[in-house]
A and B are shown apart, each in its own frame.
Chain A
Amino acid sequence: MTAWLAQHGRSFTATLAKLARTPLGAALNFLVIGIALSLPVGLYVVIDNLQASSNQLAAEPQVSAFMALDASRAEVAQIETRLKQNPRVRRFRFVPRDEALQELRRSSGLADVVDSLPQNPLPDAFIVNAKDGAPQALEALRDEIIQWPRVAHVQLDAAWARRLDAALRLGRLVAAVLGALLALALVAVTFNTIRLQVLTQREEIEVIKLIGATDAFIRRPFLYFGALQGGAGGVVAWLIVSGGVWLINHNLGELSHVYASLFQLKHLTLGASLGLLIFPAALGWFGAWLSVGRHLALIELGFDK
């Protein structure tokens, strides 16, 4: 058992030493793998953040019903009764046009512009919360209200959030496809790196095979190399994504200051970070395993001079 551990330790240090002998080449390989991995991971981080905020917005879907500008008090009251009686409505809020104008004056800082208007351009409005927040139910409610007399316009406030949600789902798919393709590329890159290593070390492999090395012993340093290279690429990808998140948050900080909102990109979770280390390492291991298995068989053994 200790001998077995010692052999693994030796293989591992030998692999590190091999990397240290060609520091530039190793660093470039890590960088290439890291950049490739950072693309889908970065995309995933952005999508995940947008998803979180879109979920927040879409949590309380509302329907806004705007009356015609010249609707009378009685006509507005009639709509109010209809809403009260409608089983699909949970609650609603009436926003009179004067109140809406005051609100606009206060919140937008456009008091001068508002004051200079010859008349109030805003209609009376109802903000309706539906009992059922499902998209189909909301649409049905909209279609019903729009047919009521003197209702000029009905808007689904959650519509854009749902569109965003659909777009994000598409984005997720793109990230997944990109990730799968680049995972394949990582296996291919490792396969090729190891192929070259096996070919340049064919004499060494031949000798140790002749003096009784098992295939596992011969394979081990290459597998370590593949895993290490993949893992290092994962670390580089993590650094790139972290740097990107930091940079964006840094700039968002100034922006949120102006808009008095606090939107910050959330970083990769610990689990995702570990995954970003382990998954590429496993892929590197797999690529190396494929390559060594295939190329070891091609090495002819000695006593042949």
Chain B
Amino acid sequence: MISFSHVSKRYPGGHQALKDVGFTIGAGELVFITGHSGAGKTTLLRLLAAIERPTSGSVIVNGQNISALRPRAVPFLRRKFGLVFQDHKLLFDRNVFDNVALPLQIAGYGAKDAARRVRAALDKVGLLAYEKALPVTLSGGEQQRLCIARAIVHRPAIMLADEPTGNLDAEYAAEIGELFRSFNQVGVTVVIATHDQTLLARLAPRVVTLKHGELAA
């Protein structure tokens, strides 16, 4: 489903973020990308979401070579992913419902169908009662669950998460971990970049470890 082969990324200025990285993630796998900060975890996610292109090598998702994708095709690639961010990236000028509805609006769902899906997603993360609330009134853990609801509302086959528990205390982190496990159990491929050892111990995933931009043995 996802495959990196001989991927290198060098930023202008000479910083080598990734060096000859190669691995494959099958459909339905739960994979953690770990490593010290600055090891290249975030760069790897940026390459996957086609925010950046590798300097060399190829990144393939669902048989599509992302490193050679036309710019016009990039938005449609991103719709295949559910993205979860450490800083949530919620829109604070609209309520919980409208935040979750955003991916559906972008993809052009009808209002009725969208409302049904939004409520299903909110129910899944336990925020159905907060439909009309504004994101600022939610706690950090709730905001992260809202971000997850937005990531799954269009039923993506792949979830990409960057330090999803980074700003959360242990109890909230455990809830988030369980959510990812439940998505993985229904067949979603989940890729999480994290150095949260508790989460790692709890989910017992396959681990890809990066060290100074290279795969660690």
Spell out A's residues near B (CB within 8 Å).
2-4, 6-7, 10, 203-204, 206-215, 217, 301-305
Contacts and interface: CB of A to CB of B under 8 A. Distances in A.
B133 interface: no
Contacts of A215: 75
B89 A207 contact: yes
A211 B106 contact: yes
B56 to A, nearest CB: 21
B87 A305 contact: yes
Given A6-B111, A303-B51, A213 B86 contact: no
Interface string B95-134: 0000000110111111100000000000000000000000
B49 interface: yes
Given A303-B51, A303-B162, A211 B87 contact: no
B3 interface: no
Contacts of A212: 75-79, 103, 106-107
A208 B94 CA distance: 14
A3 B106 contact: no
Interface in B50-75: 51, 72, 75
Given A211-B79, A211-B102, 12 more contacts: A7-B105, A7-B108, A203-B89, A204-B91, A207-B89, A212-B76, A217-B75, A303-B45, A303-B83, A305-B85, A305-B86, A305-B163
A210 B108 contact: no
B83 to A, nearest CB: 6
B19 interface: no
Contacts of B93: 204
B42 A303 contact: yes
Nearest to B151: A211
A211 B78 CA distance: 6
Among B72, B107, B163: residue with most chain A CB under 10 A: B107
B211 interface: no
A302 B162 CA distance: 10
B212 interface: no
Interface in B133-172: 150, 162-163
B46 interface: yes
19 contacts: A2-B110, A3-B109, A3-B110, A6-B108, A207-B102, A209-B75, A210-B78, A210-B89, A212-B75, A212-B77, A212-B79, A212-B103, A215-B75, A301-B51, A302-B89, A303-B42, A303-B51, A303-B83, A304-B42
Interface residues of B, number: 31
Contacts of B150: 211
A293 to B, nearest CB: 13
A209 B106 CA distance: 9
B105 to A, nearest CB: 7
A303 B106 contact: no
B78 A303 contact: no
A186 B140 CA distance: 45
A21 to B, nearest CB: 10
Q: Could you say which of A203, A211, A301 has the most chain B C-beta atoms within 10 Å of its C-beta?
A: A211
Contacts of B107: 212
Contact of A10 (B77, B79, B83, B105): B105
A114 to B, nearest CB: 83
B95 to A, nearest CB: 14
Contacts of B83: 210-211, 303
Contact of B49 (A3, A203, A204, A303): A303
A192 B72 CA distance: 27
Given A6-B111, A303-B162, A208 B89 contact: no
B108 A3 contact: yes
Nearest to B99: A207
A222 B106 CA distance: 16
Interface string B30-59: 000000000000100110010100000000
A10 B85 CA distance: 27
A46 B49 CA distance: 60
Given A204-B91, A303-B162, A213 B49 contact: no
B104 to A, nearest CB: 10
B102 A302 contact: no
A208 B75 CA distance: 10
A208 B99 CA distance: 10
B109 to A, nearest CB: 7
Contact of A213 (B72, B85, B106, B109): B106
Contacts of A4: 108
Contacts of A203: 89, 91
A252 B78 CA distance: 67
Contacts of A305: 85-87, 162-163
Contacts of B105: 7, 10
Contacts of A210: 49, 51, 78, 83, 89
